[in-house]
Structures are given as C-alpha cells and as structure tokens.
Amino acid sequence: MKAIAHLLLLIPLFFGTGCASIVSQSSWTVNIDSEPPGAHVEVTDRNGRPVYQGTTPTQVSLRSGNGYFKAQRYNLAFRRDGYEAESATLNCVMNPWYLGNIVLGGFIGMLIVDPLTGAMFKPVTEQLNVHLHQRNNQDPKFINTIPNEVHSGK
C-alpha cells in the first residue's frame, strides 16, 4: 500500500515535466566570428527586431523559441570597410531532448512546458563564421580617381 502511495506521488512529476526544459535550455550562447575579424554584426529576429549589435568575434545569447510551437530564426548582417556586406541566417530546429517527453510520457512537457519556454528548439549551430570578401577595385567610385596621364599612356 505504501508503494502505491509513493507511485501516486511520482505520477505528477513524471507527467508534468518537460525534458528539454529540464535537461536543456531555451537561450543559447552562439559564437559569431568573421574572417577578417572586426566586422560590425547586427542580429535581428524573425520579426525584424534588433537583438544584438557589436563587433566580431563575439558571443550572443539567443532565445530558440518564438512563441508557442514556433522556432526562432535570426538574420545576421556583417559590414566592414573595404569588404562586401555579407549576411547569414541562423535557424533553430527541434531539440533532441524534446523527444524525451515521448519516451518518458511527459505529455504536459510535450504540449505545454517545452513549447512555451522555447526549450523544444535549439540553434542549428553554436558557432557561426562568415568570410568577408574584399571589394573589387573596379568599383565605379574608384574608376574616376585614376589620373588622365595613365589613361593616355603618357
């Protein structure tokens, strides 16, 4: 009889937890770098709201969820003098720990806790590197700066 009472006390814990919320997290540290370093980076969320602005290399804490059962997506814009502007996208995907709810029967965690906290998602990568390309010297703003003597061959 005592064993049944103990089991009854454990049932709410068993069904009321969210595996990803307990074992994982809903905000992730992402390392952002560029080659060459020192680029200005602006991070915006899927709604276009700025989340972070700074210089590479850097670390940014990003939330993986964007509402109930909706993963976050981030757009990153890189700029540096003398280099072409570059952009990157960072998607969040289903966190493998979320599937622990199925194995352990955590229906509350599966349907409420993990989706609301965003812990059911995680970034595709925690290390983002972007290669910046130098601007071409044939850029129209440079063409008119060559002295006439060079054009005429004198």
Q: Over 50: is that where the pLDDT of 148 sits? A: no
Side by side, the strands of the sheet bearing 127-131 are: 58-63, 27-35, 127-131
Place of tokens 């709604």: 47
**Residue 38 included in any domain:** yes
| Per-residue pLDDT band at 25 (split at 50, 70, 90) | low
* CATH number where 36 lies: 2.60.40
Place of tokens 């509402």: 67
**Residue 105 included in any domain:** yes
**Residue 2 included in any domain:** no
pTM: predicted TM-score of the whole model, two decimal places: 0.68
Q: What is the pLDDT of residues 36-92, one digit of tens each?
A: 999 999 999 999 999 999 999 999 999 888 878 788 899 999 999 999 999 999 998
Q: Work out the average pLDDT over 25-41.
A: 91
Domain assignment of residue 94, given as a range? 16-133
Calculate the CA dihedral of residues 77, 79, 52, 22 and round it to 10 degrees. 60
**Residue 149 included in any domain:** no
Residue pair 95/20 in contact by the 8 Å Cβ criterion:
yes
Cβ-Cβ contacts under 8 Å for 134 (sequence gap 6 or more)? 82, 83, 84
Tokens of 12: 């709410």
**Residue 109 included in any domain:** yes
Cβ-Cβ contacts under 8 Å for 148 (sequence gap 6 or more)? none
Which of 48-52, 99-103, 122-126 is modeled with the greatest confidence? 48-52
Residue pair 25/53 in contact by the 8 Å Cβ criterion:
no
Residue pair 134/83 in contact by the 8 Å Cβ criterion:
yes
**Residue 88 included in any domain:** yes
State how many domains the chain has: 1
Q: 13 by DSSP, 3-state: which?
A: helix
Q: Over 50: is that where the pLDDT of 18 sits? A: no
